[in-house]
Structure 1
Amino acid sequence: MDLSGVDKEFIEARRRSLKRYLQILCRHPTIYDTDIIKFFLTFQGTSCADNMKATYKNVLDEFSSESQSSLNSNDNIEKHGEDSDGIQMFRISQTHISFLHQQFNQIRGYLKSINEKNFKNANDFANIEKTLQTIGSDSTSIDRWATGPNDYWPTIQVGLSNLPVEIDAISERINEQYKRDDEVINDHFDLLIELLQGYTDLCKRFDDALQIEQKAIQKANNQQKRSSTATDTSSK
């Protein structure tokens, strides 16, 4: 794949995201030991996705533990009836997770803004250092017309020439703090947000599957009612 035209920062951001996602999977108490994860991490060759799809095409996901045809029986219609308490708890959890995801995203934005200001401050101090060095190394001859009866300027210039060392130390400290904070935001805070995003996506998948299941149950109930009506009519 030719990536010559792709922004390097974008590639690096995607690399970090993939690393965090794999860490989430590998830290999961159940997922880390599944054959699919082992296959993905140890696969050598090309077309990993196609090979995974072909190898595990019959593996059920969390919404496929039972076949769709099983919904046609009366027992399973009763079994799959909506659990109002469970659904209500799911809705509350779904709303809460979405709320947390939104709030932490806002906090991340604030932290990024603060850190960008710190980076700018470090650059500003570096520019101050360069400016002071320029002033301190200025060899322009100063005559009495400019200074009057005093000769303070050479002393001031010597003092200014010593300041860049202190300014450089400040710039370095701010820059190091920026790097540490940026690492915390990228490698820790983003991990939390991506976990919440994963739960948000999972809730969405569950909600979609729940709606499909409920439609199937409703359809089966309607068919059962029509069948019962037809039987009663024919018996009369």
Structure 2
Amino acid sequence: MSADLTFGSVPPFYREVYEILCPNQEQVDEDLLVNLLLKSSLPRATITQIWDAVDNKTGFVNRNGLYKALALTALAQNGKTIHDKLLESYAGQELPKPSLGDLGDLRSTSVKLRREKNPNILGYNYRELCDLDAIKVELMPEKKGIILKHVEYEVTSRNYKTTVLRRYNDFFAFQEMLMLRFPYRLVPRLPPKKMMGANREFIEQRRKSLRRFCNLVARHPKMYDDKLVKFFLTFSGSDMTNKIKEVFRGIPDEFMTSNLASKAKELVPMDTQQQIQNSKEHMRMLYNGVTKMKEISEKLVMRATGYACDMLQFGQELSSFSNDATSVSAWATGRSETWHHLKKGFKHLSVEYAALGDKAAQEAGDTDSEVVEKLCLFQDLLLAYKVSSVHIL
């Protein structure tokens, strides 16, 4: 049958369903439409009839075909027979609205099916990647160990709602297993261990780097729900370093067990080598630019921090003038009352300089957390791409 819909006016519900299924104004494929119609609780045979009524023999339907399927679904729910003639009675009227349950489930199903149908396309925007998980890595206040002291980190996963303790060696073992499990994915690098003499600044920078590492992995569209990642973020037993190797020793890489392995050649475009070279050049440009931007941002933080300290010290000196209790001699002031009035002014000025110092310190903190850290995250991602592209070629 034809997918044309020439009778009746389209209710807002139809448009809402189309926007959920086709956010980029594309067509609706058979699997996606059938999954939608299954929410109507109609028999499978009836759903097949509805598809046959709108099928144009391409495996897809356009917006008009979807609207027709929705109208036929509503009629079938009311006990009507699936036939185009029934729609003619709605000339000049609003088409019937089918009952499809919660559209929130439909949205997630639609997104999942689109990603499965197009494995060569990311299928996520930045916010959706961030929503996969958020990892916090905090430094434990006391070092552990009787002879050789070591630092422990508290790792919290928003997705799994867990908090576990990890040593640096645990992160190292985790990265090692990730590279075996995902040999062609972007596995970010770890910060250096530095066995002895690590100062407070180094430990803090390493904590931030470990946090970036965890978030890049936990938000990777192919790694985030892997059992290896789940184990690292949820296992609360002892000796994590050896345990993760014991559990996942011999685990096959992802392509050995992937459903896409049998049709891998079909998914590789003819110009793949050229695309890789173009990507490498693009990433090289991005990496160099981001590195320079990060260096500039770090200098901004240093200058803002220095300015904050200067304003604070300047205000402290003014405050000491205002609180000066030494006797005033005519030899120094010529019996002028100016010093007495100046001291009152110094007191008010010291408060203003302290406020300037606080604002500069706040600016330094915001720039460090909102600019420098995000540039570091992007730099880590680009560096992982550079390393993985070497393996591909």
Instruction: Give your verdict on TM over 0.5.
Output: yes
Distance 1:103 1:118 in 2: 23
Distance 2:288 2:253 in 1: 28
Q: In the alignment, which residue of structure 1 is the partner of 2:370?
A: 184
Query: How do 1:57-96 and structure 2 match up within 5 A?
Result: 57-61=249-253, 85-96=271-282
Distance 1:94 1:53 in 2: 33
Query: How do 1:69-218 and structure 2 match up within 5 A?
Result: 85-148=271-334, 150-207=336-393
- Equivalent of residue 248 in structure 2, options 53, 56, 59: 56
Give the root-mean-square deviation of aligned CA atoms: 2.5
CA distance 1:150–1:42, shift in 2 (3 Å): closer
Q: In the alignment, which residue of structure 2 is the partner of 1:32?
A: 224
Structure 2 residue 3 is the aligned partner of structure 1 residue 3: no
Q: In the alignment, which residue of structure 2 is the partner of 1:216?
A: none
Runs ≥4 residues deviating over 6 A: none
Give the letter for the 1:93 counterpart: S
Gaps of 5+ in 1: 67-78, 208-236
Structure 2 residue 164 is the aligned partner of structure 1 residue 17: no
Give the letter for the 1:14 counterpart: R
Distance 2:304 2:317 in 1: 20
Distance 1:44 1:109 in 2: 38
> What secondary structure, in the 3-state scheme, does the structure 1 residue paired with 2:345 have?
helix
Which structure's relative contact order is higher, taking Cα pairs within 8 Å and 6+ residues apart? 1
Distance 1:44 1:52 in 2: 11
TM-score (norm 2): 0.44
Gaps of 5+ in 2: 1-144, 152-196, 258-264
Q: 2:329 touches 2:335 (CA, 8 Å); kept in 1?
A: no
Percent of aligned pairs sharing the same letter: 27
TM-score (norm 1): 0.71
CA distance 1:136–1:205, shift in 2 (3 Å): same
Q: Could you give the per-residue CA deviations for residues 187-236 of structure 1, whole angstroms, max 9, x where no partner exists?
A: 422211111122122112223xxxxxxxxxxxxxxxxxxxxxxxxxxxxx
Query: 1:122: how far off?
Result: 0.4
Query: 1:51: how far off?
Result: 3.5
Distance 1:127 1:188 in 2: 31
More strand by share: 2
More helix by share: 1
Q: Could you give the per-residue CA deviations for residues 16-61 of structure 1, whole angstroms, max 9, x where no partner exists?
A: 2222221122222221111211222223334434443343343344
